[in-house]
Structure 1
Amino acid sequence: MHTDLVAALDIGGTKIAGALVDGHGRILLRAQRATPAQEDGDTVMRAVEDVIRELTGSPFWGRARAVGIGSAGPVDASAGTVSPVNVPGWRGYPLVERVRAATGGLPVELIGDGVAITAAEHWQGAARGHDNALCMVVSTGVGGGLVLGGRLHPGPTGNAGHIGHISVDLDGDPCPCGSRGCVERIASGPNIARRALEDGWRPGPEGDTSAAAVAAAARAGDPVAVASFERAAQALAAGIAATATLVEIDIAVIGGGVAGAGDLLFAPLRKALTDYATLSFVQRLTVAPALMGTDAGLVGAAAAALTRGTDATAAGV
């Protein structure tokens, strides 16, 4: 069985990446296209099919047994459809059916991108060896996924663990999702920058208003920039503690661009966790930076495909 491969697709608003991946998580071949995110659904699908065509043209393709897809969400694994917020041409789009057709009828496993990254971190990254883990991506949005009882827990539709839309501020700002005070509305990169600007932070002469620019200002000691990261850390801590209290995770792994701020985020986050994760069974909860980097989506999509049915033990996911 070790000679079998799976195809993996990582679909986001910026790029569509594809790979052939072996049972050890090694990427043997890659393909990539820009996502024509503002075009109609079939144009976006053509970019996916271009990526698949590169994979099917490989001499390795004959060993591919299944396809794993990690997609920006929401996804609906039970229906095989995707409706990524940042790809408006896809609403209830039948991605599984289209990918199955483009790959000659291979079985297809669809999960959300946060769940895919969780699968990768559990298989080969910072959550390896942990049976109960939350993995989060904090970047333009805040996503996540769960490992419970040693197994990936995508939930019926593939969206379980979507911590970005836990409300941590009852009277907080309205979130585009329709709720209020969501983790994402406080802790995502754009919202860290928004809060800093609203509170009086001003960018340098080049006008960079990204979260990275706020992080640079915080490192230089700007109190408003520091406070914006501390507020984000507090929101993340409240969401992580709620999750840990609910399902008894023992590690929270955090990746994504905002996690690149390092101690600016992790130091106040660990401190805030002591305020929120107070019950005896969550006090030992640890927080760690993600290790898998930009290949996490592909490796996690491959893990999901490898764990279909009887292959569950092969991937150790």
Structure 2
Amino acid sequence: MTYDARRDTAHGTGLDAAPTTAGGAGAVLAVDIGGTKFAAAVVGATGEIIVADRVATPPGGDAETLWKSLAALVDSVVQRVPGLDVLGVGIGCGGPMSWPDGHVSPLNMPGWRGFPLRDRLAERFPGVPVRIHNDAICVAAAEHWRGAGRGSDNMLGMVVSTGVGGGLILGGRLIDGGTGNAGHIGHVVVDPDGPDCECGGRGCLEAISRGPGLASWALTQGWVPGSAHRDPAAGGLYVEAAGASGRQLALDAAAGDPIARSAFTRAGRALGIAIASATHMCDLDLVTIGGGLSQAGPLLFEPLERTLHAHVRMEFAARVRVVPAALGQDAGLIGAAALVLAEDHYWTGPA
């Protein structure tokens, strides 16, 4: 069980990457749907992003306003590769959704409730495969295919951000489960007496370790956002007063704020418990962790490792490694493309 500090900076090809293949080549359109942004990309056969763009999700938009924004983005991206032959469309979207038909109801997008996202994109791109999966599952597929999970046949890919999600790879293949939600580690119970979760349960990993929940807990302990500072002689800078976000919490923890540091210890402990349980259940080789909170690096990974080591005692499970994800903001797009480009490993739904 090792945290590889060399992977501590997320990287990827970047959303502004210039075209790397000639116009007219076959490629896949990838779409990544989030509560704060829509992203779309043309992705080549080996997972390289040829061209991509993003727009802010229209705040409070109704179903058609959201769709028009996405459609305009998709058209713009496709038109930037002259003569493009679209071989298929892959979509990652926040849940819940009905899978694999792709009627989506993202929790943070009230304008889409049962919206037929897959069908609408299939109408726009007839005659090619159009496939959709949960956004966290797409991230896991991306990391397994082209990221930090390459070479591992048995891994869990996690996203720790405003929520906590995951995707499960066993035997080199994405595991869907009965409803397409296998690997949803965010709702593993890590503390039965812990905080209420938005799912209706109590003590879920997501309730403890997601960024907003972590910041809320720190506020109850007396954290004053932005008040931490380092000694200037040590190279630190004063952090101006700011909002109570996970990012600000990480800045204050890095600057030595004891409450902020305790919050990350609390999150890391919860993650370690959940990963230990998943490892024993699924006989994992590797866990990759991405998302905004993972950028806190050792503040999160060190307590995670300590807790994981304390709970993983079976010899077969002790081999598991936990590493930061490698693909950064590109992961959702690359994973969505993998649903088409690497279907033997990542797609079990209808053709």
Identify the residue that residue 4 of structure 2 maps to in structure 1.
none
Deviation (angstroms), 1:245: 1.1
Give structure 2 stretches of 5+ with no counterpart.
1-24, 228-239
Query: In structure 2, the residue corresponding to 1:128 is in which secondary structure?
Result: coil
Counterparts of 1:36 and 1:216, CA distance in 2: 29
Query: 78-87 or 256-265: which moved more?
Result: 78-87
Q: Percent identity?
A: 46
| Deviation per residue, 1:130-186 (Å, 9 max, x gap) | 000011111111111111101122334332211111111112211111111110111
The equivalent residue for 2:35 is: 13
After superposition, the CA RMSD in angstroms is 1.9
The one-letter code matched in structure 2 to 1:106 is V
* Aligned twin of 2:262: 227
TM-superposed deviation, 1:99: 0.6
Q: Distance in 1 between matches of 2:201 and 2:256?
A: 34
Is 1:87 matched with 2:113? Answer: no
- The residue that corresponds to 2:343 in the other structure is 308
Q: Which moved more, 1:216-225 or 1:126-135?
A: 216-225
Kept in 1, the 8 Å contact 2:143–2:150? The answer is yes
Q: Displacement, 1:59?
A: 4.4
Equivalence for 2:165: 143
Q: Deviations over 1:84-138 (max 9, x none)?
A: 1111111111111001011234221101110111111111111110000011111
Q: CA deviation at 1:12?
A: 0.4
Q: 1:191 to 1:89 in 2, by over 3 A?
A: same
DSSP-derived class of the 2:115 partner: coil
Q: Matches of 1:145 and 1:60 in 2, distance apart?
A: 35
Aligned length: 310
1:61 and 1:171, CA in 2 relative to 1: closer, same or farther beyond 3 A? farther
Q: Which of the numbers 69, 83, 96 marks the counterpart of 1:74?
A: 96
Q: C-alpha distance in 2, partners of 1:290/1:183?
A: 19
Instruction: Note if 1:269 corresponds to 2:291.
Output: no
Mapped to 2, the partners of 1:181 and 1:35 lie a distance apart of 30
Write the distance in 1 (CA, Å) between the matches of 2:346 and 2:276: 33
- 1:49 maps to what in 2? 71
Moved more, 18-27 or 104-113: 104-113
Distance in 2 separating the partners of 1:256 and 1:224: 22
Normalised TM-score (structure 1):
0.92
Partner SS, residue 280 of structure 1 = coil
Q: Does 1:260 align with 2:295?
A: yes
Q: Which of the pair has the greater relative contact order for Cα pairs under 8 Å at 6+ separation?
A: 2
Q: Check whether the contact 2:90–2:340 (CA below 8 A) recurs between aligned residues.
A: yes
> Shift in Å at residue 37 of structure 1?
4.1
Q: Is the 8 A contact 1:115 1:158 kept in 2?
A: no
**Cα pair distance change 1:273/1:309, threshold 3 Å:** closer
Q: 1:16 & 1:311 partners in 2: Cα distance?
A: 22
> Counterparts of 1:133 and 1:14 in 2: how far apart (Å)?
28
Cα distance in structure 1, aligned partners of 2:83 and 2:194: 50
TM-aligned CA distance change 1:245 to 1:238, over 3 Å: same
Q: Is the 1:74–1:159 Cα contact (8 Å) retained in structure 2?
A: no
> Which residue does 2:213 correspond to in 1?
191
Shift of 1:61: 5.5
Q: Distance in 2 between matches of 1:213 and 1:95?
A: 34
Report the CA distance between 1:311 and its aligned residue: 10
Matched, 1:114 2:149: no
Distance in 1 (alpha carbons) for counterparts of 2:127 and 2:54? 22
The answer (yes or no) to whether the contact 1:134–1:253 under 8 Å persists in 2 is yes
- The answer to whether the aligner puts 1:240 opposite 2:275 as a matched pair is yes
Runs (4+) of structure 1 exceeding 6 A deviation are none
